[in-house]
Structure 1
């Protein structure tokens, strides 16, 4: 494309003597006028715009829902700055950075963004500067915002218009953005990529970790250690995508298996299920008249739904995300019939979900008109998103802390029992610990108890998930068998910046090298009991 050429010839009056030539002034930064972009705006649809001009209309009250920057033309960085953008939602949730040609935002959810920012690559930032003006639906406006800075309205209003400025640092011919005409329009085809069911991508933030301090680490069998070291030895977990897929005419069966209209298994929904089990549920869906759930629904159940810890970290965050981002859209939250159903209902109503919007299902298949399936928050034993801990922080926000700074979590289970738990309780009771059994407490009571605790000791088990409610920097001492390969509670502590340590104890029976040997339980040695007496 052609850029306007500077007028170097100063006009002079006829016959006037031409003044002496002055040293040329440094070239002023030049804004490129031809950058293309496309916004999807509520009630209007797709609106084309260009760098240097408003995209969206200030004062319209119509929110931007998605943004697509055109891809840069081929060429060296001084010819093509290739800006990227990121949309911001409430609670600091955000999309991944999206390069030109890939839309940022939601599709089909009418989800207004609350902020936006732009960035250039390190290679092109030497040649260009990026800034923007932004207008919000509450009438406020901010101008000349540095590209990488997030500008938000104090009232939390949505973004209604942006004006992007890409400034040339030197007078070099350039193309800011390529032709947009061949690119997909956000909202037009209800797709955010090659998978047409994906309607929204969020960024799960990167986070740093610290290795746990492990007492008796030398007793851990090599196989168990190797499975945990993959996570323990990482210093940083990079950002990942969390995706919202919408499956039309979906069938939900069992503990969260999902089939599409043609009874094809939806990927990622059959964890811990073998092919025979999947086929049994497929046959049930074919043979059984199915209850129907109209409108939009959210899958909030997965494998092991009776486990309190799995519910809090793997199921509840999906309900929280949806209820916060799509608060204007009525939705049904699908949960499983379990022995912790009261906790499940209390957690969902605790974040403002109407109890009549909670649909309790069992293994019998149900048909959903539009089902939201959220992926990317957890991969058991391998990854846990900080968004999960954020959801629990929001759940606990209004609950006052209890006055018990030291807590021992007793556990009464035939699976992985602490065989001399009474001795541990005696040692810790003498140190001022409150001995508690969360299994007999309400959800609010558990939140309150752990929100006030700065030191928590207990065997690894579902109730210890409550450390998510402990203050930042709390001391956590987890007790478990020498061979139990678990990183779940370590991950959780990393998100809360806890001082996390483990006491590894001798297995009660079996060969520690054998998978499953930890089920028989473990015993604290005398020296480990003495260690607890110092806490």
Structure 2
């Protein structure tokens, strides 16, 4: 399979936006010894780069391209556009090409003529990926060109409502949505691609929060000051969570699962919070709505190679900690149950604004 750089294609450069430099200190982590060396190495570019130089975010209009899988873009002659690869495996890239060829043979390729903005990527079914890595592309594009259609993942239930509410709350765009599933293939006469905004796990531009404060300002805050976010009945749960919940409730925490809350309800809850404790996962994306200085304590298995929430917290000026726990079974999956000791949580809750880094 041929992979081509977007700069080598017939295209119209729409805009190049400067992304400011920034600095982030390494996270404060309790139990770093639970992190396997290869997992720490995977997180090292995010955690230990320190000074991130200024960069560029580019908006480019392409012509006559295919989109399939989770946002993979192929040229008319079936070459894969490098900038559309976002954590896709080589096997997924090959599958994308195969789907295009099959759809052509079956004559099921949908042709889209309105100028469209690509808002898809690997992991697009995740709330955090949408709010931090995809929606901000619309914010940038809206400032530089007229748009007719948004190419978005096909979603259902509450997340589908959250997607549309987030567009309505943060933009003036009256959207025509082109929803796509992972197996779908569409051919776009004009497709706008945004690259350089994020590189998942390695880099996150401050521009991803360019309209976050405006969104928060439009929603009244709740009175709750301390929140615990559970993942009960889903993957990556805490084995002794009931005991931790009892302890946290004694400390004045409201325990909840934001999965079925509307976007406005989530913003309302997090806006005035002073301390957030939660199991590492999509719901913790809501820390982006917290005020500067809010304490965030992220609970995670030692082998989970994630820097996403560290970047959010750092760029939003939050007081961020991680407590890493031991897995309850011999496994390499970070979606397995793990343990968090109550004393460790109590210790981090009692700390002042300064702590020890990894």
TM-score (norm 1): 0.60
Match of 2:127 among 281, 285, 308: 308
Q: 1:40-79 alignment to 2 at 5 Å?
A: none
Determine whether 1:519 maps to 2:335.
Answer: yes
* CA positional deviation for 1:293: 2.3
* CA positional deviation for 1:387: 0.9
Hey, what does 1:335 align to over in structure 2? 152
Determine whether 1:322 maps to 2:141.
Answer: yes
Match of 1:505 among 313, 325, 329: 325
Hey, what does 1:219 align to over in structure 2? 34
- Please give the alpha-carbon distance, in whole angstroms, between the structure 1 residues aligned to 2:311 and 2:148: 31
Hey, what does 1:83 align to over in structure 2? none
1:101-124 Cα deviation digits (max 9, x unpaired): xxxxxxxxxxxxxxxxxxxxxxxx
- Please give the alpha-carbon distance, in whole angstroms, between the structure 2 residues aligned to 1:330 and 1:434: 41
Hey, what does 1:26 align to over in structure 2? none
CA contact (8 A) 1:313 1:389 kept: yes
* CA positional deviation for 1:318: 1.1
Hey, what does 2:61 align to over in structure 1? 246
Q: 1:86-97 alignment to 2 at 5 Å?
A: none
* CA positional deviation for 1:508: 1.2
List runs of 5+ in structure 1 lacking aligned partners: 1-191
Hey, what does 2:306 align to over in structure 1? 486
* CA positional deviation for 1:421: 1.8
CA contact (8 A) 2:148 2:175 kept: no
CA contact (8 A) 1:345 1:355 kept: no
- Please give the alpha-carbon distance, in whole angstroms, between the structure 2 residues aligned to 1:382 and 1:278: 25
Pick closer, same or farther for the CA change 1:413–1:246 going to 2, 3 Å: farther
CA contact (8 A) 1:345 1:358 kept: no
TM-score (norm 2): 0.88
1:115-135 Cα deviation digits (max 9, x unpaired): xxxxxxxxxxxxxxxxxxxxx
**Paired residue total:** 338
Pick closer, same or farther for the CA change 1:248–1:238 going to 2, 3 Å: same
Task: For CA contacts below 8 A with separation 6 or more, give which structure has more relative contact order.
Answer: 2
**What secondary structure sits across from 1:369 in the alignment?**
strand
* CA positional deviation for 1:506: 1.0
Q: RMSD value over aligned CA atoms?
A: 2.1
- Whose helix proportion is higher, 1 or 2? 2
Q: Which runs of 4+ in 1 moved over 4 A?
A: 192-196, 353-356, 532-535
- Please give the alpha-carbon distance, in whole angstroms, between the structure 2 residues aligned to 1:250 and 1:276: 16
**What secondary structure sits across from 1:394 in the alignment?**
helix
* CA positional deviation for 1:364: 1.6
Determine whether 1:366 maps to 2:186.
Answer: yes
